[in-house]
Chains A and B, each alone.
Chain A
Amino acid sequence: MATTTATVNISSTDLQPGNALGISASTTLYQTGTTTGLDLVDYGVGKLTEASAGDALAEALGTADTSNYVYICNTSTDKDQYMVIGIHDTVIGNLGSEEWLFMPWNMGDADAEINIEAEASGSITYEYAIFKSTYTLPAKT
């Protein structure tokens, strides 16, 4: 059984005057509803060119409504370049240059793919890792 841990530390001495911020949280990534560690992962580096539409970083091909976790980092250092992150037709948010996200992904249905889009111009290099409960490859065409 594999062990995967994800830890976040959020800190600021001046966001809340007189009350320094210090959040620290860590979790072990388990298979759906168990204490058995996830043992499937898909990770890599990609390059995305600005376009009018998004591309699917990952399709919801695994078992629906399971435990999966997504990490994405926009490695651009150009402050004007950001990635639009969404699930199917819903935009979650704009991932700015040098920013990352980490979120669960339950693949609730076949129309729950993770979409990414580069804005506002040029190409953006991104890193990603998707930790999965199940892993179904796209069908051969």
Chain B
Amino acid sequence: MATTNATITINSDITSSPLSISKTMVLKKFQSTDGIEETTGLRTKKFNATTAVEIIANTEGTADKASKVYIRNTGSDSAEFFYVALNDNAAASDSTETIGKLYAGDWMFIPWKATAATTHDIVVAPSTTDEMTLEYMVFQE
């Protein structure tokens, strides 16, 4: 059994009382205290078109379990972003279902149900034809 820790730290002065969040979790199997044992490893991919591209297929996770996905836009141009979606058409608005936009430097870390259907493929669409790079990793049971 492997031990994988993920810690988030958020600091903000938006409010008059500074907001500070710090939380560490151990990545565990679904409804278990055992740590997850599989990963895709960290991947890096370059993009130079605005076409939506599947980066993680639903088959790379274990359906209905406790997979996790980390994605980061490694860019530095604040105007450029990736749409990240759970469908085959990452776009500003989509019925099934755009999650959000990852701007330069932004990262996300989400649980991923990996339902055995293309509706749970993870798809990205760059905002520009300028070269942009993502790094991403799947943790799974």
What residues of chain A have their CB less than 8 Å away from a CB belonging to chain B? 2-16, 21, 23, 25-30, 32-35, 38-41, 43, 64-65, 67-69, 71, 73, 79-80, 82, 85, 87-96, 98-106, 108-109, 111-112, 120, 127, 129, 131
* A residues less than 8 Å from B5 (CB atoms): 9-12
B47 contacts the other chain (CB 8 A): no
A selection of 22 A-B contacts at a CB cut-off of 8 Å is A2-B12, A7-B10, A8-B8, A9-B5, A9-B9, A10-B4, A23-B70, A25-B107, A35-B78, A41-B19, A67-B103, A88-B97, A89-B95, A92-B99, A92-B110, A93-B66, A93-B67, A93-B113, A98-B26, A100-B109, A101-B111, A106-B100
Pair A33/B79 contact, Cβ less than 8 Å: yes
Pair B12/A4 contact, Cβ less than 8 Å: yes
Pair B31/A106 contact, Cβ less than 8 Å: no
Pair B78/A30 contact, Cβ less than 8 Å: yes
Pair B107/A65 contact, Cβ less than 8 Å: no
A88 → chain B, closest Cβ, in Å? 6
| A108→B83 CA distance, assembly (Å) | 10
Task: Give the 9 A-B CB pairs with smallest separation, nearest first.
Answer: A104-B100, A93-B111, A90-B97, A4-B12, A12-B4, A108-B93, A109-B93, A15-B2, A2-B14
* B residues less than 8 Å from A131 (CB atoms): 12, 14
* B residues less than 8 Å from A29 (CB atoms): 12
Pair A87/B4 contact, Cβ less than 8 Å: no
